[in-house]
Structure 1
Amino acid sequence: MTDTLDLIVIGAGMAGITAAKKCASAGWSVAIVDELPYGGTCALRGCDPKKMLRAGAEAVEAARRLQDKGVTGETRIDWPALMKHKESFTDPVPDSMENGLTEAGVRTLHGRARFTAKDRVEIDGHGEIAFRHALIATGAKPRPLEFPGAERLIDSTDFLNLAELPRRVVFIGGGYISFEFAHIAARAGAEVTLLDRGVRQLKTFDPDLVAMLLERSRAAGIEIVAEAEIERIEDAGGAQRVVYRKAGESHTTEADIVVHGAGRVPAIDHLGLAAGGVETEYGGVKVTPWLQSPSNPRIFAAGDAAASPGKPLTPVAVFEGKIAASNMLKYKRTEPDYTGVPSVVFTIPELARVGLLEEEARETGDVEVRFTDTSGWFSQKRLGESHAGAKIITGKDGKILGAHMFGPDYAELINVFSLAIKLGLTVAQVKFMPAAYPTGASDIGSML
């Protein structure tokens, strides 16, 4: 490959694959490279396999909630069988993704890539490649932790590939990963402890609904310890002993595995960015509002690797990949619109949000905040769910500024509010929507 490529994409996750196909369809010569199997974190090591495992936890939890309400007998998770169910989705993904790229005219490469100049990369096993443009879409990786014994941790990828689920599991961190996996592990019968150094968990979500989630998590058997500063992890006769400090005192807990759930950072430190003339900020590739490197205009970045305003979510990576590709193809400066992007913590039940938090909305002026405890509503009663709530924030003009929800199926319902915020709809306009009854959507009018 001695000719100069129109585009080299580094990272075969959703942002990179989207951009590669778009540029190839426009007639560009495109190659994509990844040192990991094609598909990225979401499809192989995150969102999708997690949701596959969650299906088992949901089924067990549903049966338990309806005990003495018409459902009898013990329901339990067969972890190896559930893992095979997960693998029935994940195993075909890399070949499927690569075949799709090949059919689109994209050359697929495997190996670690690093910049050697502003217009060149070197790829293990393929030598040096020249390019007119490059897209950095390498995603994120677990944040390095520096306390003694940190090497004893397993990460989210390891957890999603456990052949057997150990009896005792400790999660470090109070974010998405810890809570989602903790809810799966608890329903699968593990003794689960979550240690978070912060006062407040899931800080990007509504605190009133997070409090409801914490109560529900504890009811599911998850021990949550806040303001727990990890001092070290050490051997405990084949198990792991976690030593942490809380309120000035040292405490210990033992587990069979300790899982890193303490955040992720852009996976860019292996790329030789300095040789490529690429600047970084906030841990990611520094980009203009239209996703271009200001220090090397040949290069764009998208998804979790970019220091853009976008949240580290798959839909954001996809549309950033599309916009980066369009800007390269057409020499435009189109900026991504992040309005109305929802995010969900897939606990059981789930916690969802879109738009502004209450504290953010109040900074914009007069707002109306309506909080409703929906735990006694039909939607929850039929499922035997004890905890659910919604908080809707509107402006003086009646437009919805933020929606925050905790309850069964609210991950689907939040999409209605996402559309409302994206289109600038008012409460009156949303209430005008006739919804099928009885469904979750039929509750929207009462929430407003």
Structure 2
Amino acid sequence: MSTYDVVIIGAGPAGLAVAYPLQEQGKRVAIIESDLWGGTCPNRGCDPKKMLMRGVEVKEAATAMLDSGIDGQVTIDWTKLMAHKRGYTEPVQTSTKQGLKEANIDTYSGAAAFVDPHTLMIGDQQITGEKIVIATGQRPAVIDIPGQEHLSSSTDFLDLDQLPQEIVFIGAGYITFELAVIAQAAGAQVHIIHHNQQPLKGFDQELVTALVAELSTQGIAFHLDTSPKALKKEADYYVLETDKGNFRADMVIGATGRIPNVETLQLERAHVEFDQHGVLVDTYLRTNQPHIYAIGDVLSKQLPKLTPVASFEAQHVVKVLAGKQEPIQYPLIPTLVFGHLKLARIGVSEKTIQKNTDQYSSEVIDLSTWYTYQRINDKQAKMTVVYDQAHNIAALTILSTLADELINTFVFVLGLDLTKDDLSRMIFAYPTPVSDLSSMI
């Protein structure tokens, strides 16, 4: 039985961000992966999704400039676009394992299960670790309806050889919005089914409404306050039964949230506490067993479960294992719904703002008339700014084709408490989105 200083369960971005620094410190490190080496993000998550989204961005940018100097219609060739995506994703597993091998980090393939607080079983192999880091991530939840075995997931969509003619998405979170935009732009007829009136509930609802309206004009059909009841397979198509009628489709995708990968770990044998949202940790990211840590999407937490957050947590655990006993302090975390028209926010949560309306005020700024957005015919561009009682920016939400660029700029502005005077002492390249900053705060 092999013994290690640190054993990491999960070879995604979080686990890898722990493994390499610890090995460089001279520790004997092992890492275990039961699925795809490299994790969800580069294999079947944010990275391949953004590769496919590039086709949408080019198509819609050209469409926005029709009658403004651009002629002709840009179309998406799904087969070639998917080949572009696979050109990135297919080498990920091999390159990940090769990198670990070259770093002299031992790798184990298979599902890890605790035998006791220090011992893990992987297949018929048993290893022990002085310290253990759980970084097993999440997977798509499956809605409990008759016929749920016929549901597809985001994983299936991101590797389609051919695009179905008609797709129904169940759920109206950011995954649905992003995949629906890709599918519709590539030529599919798209329906989104959601059980209440609040899609993207974590974002400013005025801008969400504007986004839904724009996507509706592009051809995506939204069916709010509609609950799925059953899914049936009929010959070469599916029928989704809901409380508002039936929907026929070539593919039905369940996008009703994600759940932590904890079942196979046998955490009870290690006496590690967890709940339905994931593994419970303290402010040092330690479980109730002080030698066992957990990071990334497997955590039970209110913060967004995003790849950069997981990597930030990994960096903190590395410091703790090196002897720096400081609680984790999270910085501002931007969240983003990708598309040609993007929705981004940063700051105090919408839930907090709605619960304390007397402490906040807000304004909506129409950006569509500003030069930056007129230049690219971004007619939907707008921004909601929320102020606290001292008139400092507490949160902001941006709806624009440039929202991804602009929100990262506000990470610096808000994270460093930059003022209008601070910005006035800087000269930015003009005309660019960043050169508008001093007029926005």
For residue 350 of structure 1, the aligned residue among 333, 342, 364 is: 342
Q: Which amino acid aligns with 1:208?
A: E
Distance 2:344 2:265 in 1: 35
Aligned to 1:190: 188
Aligned to 1:105: 104
Distance 2:135 2:261 in 1: 9
Q: 3-state SS of the aligned residue for 1:347?
A: coil
Where do residues 257-272 of structure 1 align in structure 2 (5 Å cutoff)? 257-272=251-266
Distance 2:342 2:283 in 1: 32
Aligned to 1:14: 13
Is residue 2:372 matched to residue 1:373? Answer: no
For residue 337 of structure 1, the aligned residue among 313, 329, 342 is: 329
Q: Is the 8 A contact 1:400 1:425 kept in 2?
A: no
Deviation at 1:384, TM superposition (A): 2.4
Q: Is the 8 A contact 2:142 2:256 kept in 1?
A: no
Is residue 2:417 matched to residue 1:445? Answer: no
Distance 2:293 2:357 in 1: 33
Aligned to 2:163: 165
Is residue 2:307 matched to residue 1:314? Answer: yes
Distance 1:236 1:428 in 2: 65
Calculate the TM-score normalised by the size of structure 2: 0.95
For residue 222 of structure 2, the aligned residue among 216, 221, 224 is: 224
* Bigger shift: residues 275-284 or 389-398: 389-398
Q: Is the 8 A contact 2:334 2:347 kept in 1?
A: yes
Distance 2:422 2:362 in 1: 18
1:28–1:334 Cα change, 3 Å: same
Distance 2:308 2:328 in 1: 12
1:74–1:364 Cα change, 3 Å: closer
Q: Is the 8 A contact 1:50 1:160 kept in 2?
A: yes
* Bigger shift: residues 308-317 or 38-47: 308-317
Aligned to 1:239: 237
Deviation at 1:253, TM superposition (A): 1.1
Distance 1:388 1:69 in 2: 18
Aligned to 2:147: 149
Aligned to 1:291: 285
Distance 1:334 1:303 in 2: 18
Deviation at 1:267, TM superposition (A): 1.2
Deviation at 1:146, TM superposition (A): 0.8
Q: Is the 8 A contact 1:319 1:336 kept in 2?
A: no
Q: Give CA-to-partner distance per residue, 1:261-294, whole Å, 9 cap, x none.
A: 1111111111111112111024200111111001
Deviation at 1:43, TM superposition (A): 0.8
Q: Give CA-to-partner distance per residue, 1:395-439, whole Å, 9 cap, x none.
A: 344543212101011111101111222223334434554322111
Q: Which amino acid aligns with 1:293?
A: T
Aligned to 1:95: 94
Q: Give CA-to-partner distance per residue, 1:106-151, whole Å, 9 cap, x none.
A: 11221111111111000025x1111111111011001131101111
Deviation at 1:237, TM superposition (A): 2.8
Q: Which amino acid aligns with 1:356?
A: V
Distance 1:12 1:156 in 2: 20
Q: Which amino acid aligns with 1:86?
A: K
Q: Is the 8 A contact 2:79 2:162 kept in 1?
A: yes
Q: 3-state SS of the aligned residue for 1:392?
A: strand
Q: 3-state SS of the aligned residue for 2:8?
A: strand
Deviation at 1:358, TM superposition (A): 5.7
Distance 1:136 1:285 in 2: 9
Deviation at 1:382, TM superposition (A): 2.2
Q: Give CA-to-partner distance per residue, 1:84-114, whole Å, 9 cap, x none.
A: 1001111111122222222333112211111
Is residue 2:174 matched to residue 1:176? Answer: yes
Calculate the TM-score normalised by the size of structure 1: 0.94
Q: Is the 8 A contact 2:153 2:253 kept in 1?
A: yes
Q: Is the 8 A contact 1:290 1:336 kept in 2?
A: yes
Where do residues 67-82 of structure 1 align in structure 2 (5 Å cutoff)? 67-82=66-81
Q: Is the 8 A contact 2:169 2:193 kept in 1?
A: yes
Q: Is the 8 A contact 2:15 2:135 kept in 1?
A: yes
Runs of 4 or more above 6 Å deviation: none
Distance 1:149 1:376 in 2: 49
Q: Which amino acid aligns with 2:19?
A: A
Q: Give CA-to-partner distance per residue, 1:368-400, whole Å, 9 cap, x none.
A: 423112123222222223211111223344543
Q: Give CA-to-partner distance per residue, 1:38-58, whole Å, 9 cap, x none.
A: 111111111000000000111
Q: Is the 8 A contact 1:400 1:426 kept in 2?
A: no
Q: Give CA-to-partner distance per residue, 1:1-20, whole Å, 9 cap, x none.
A: x2421111010111100011
For residue 126 of structure 2, the aligned residue among 108, 125, 128 is: 128
* Bigger shift: residues 233-242 or 358-367: 358-367
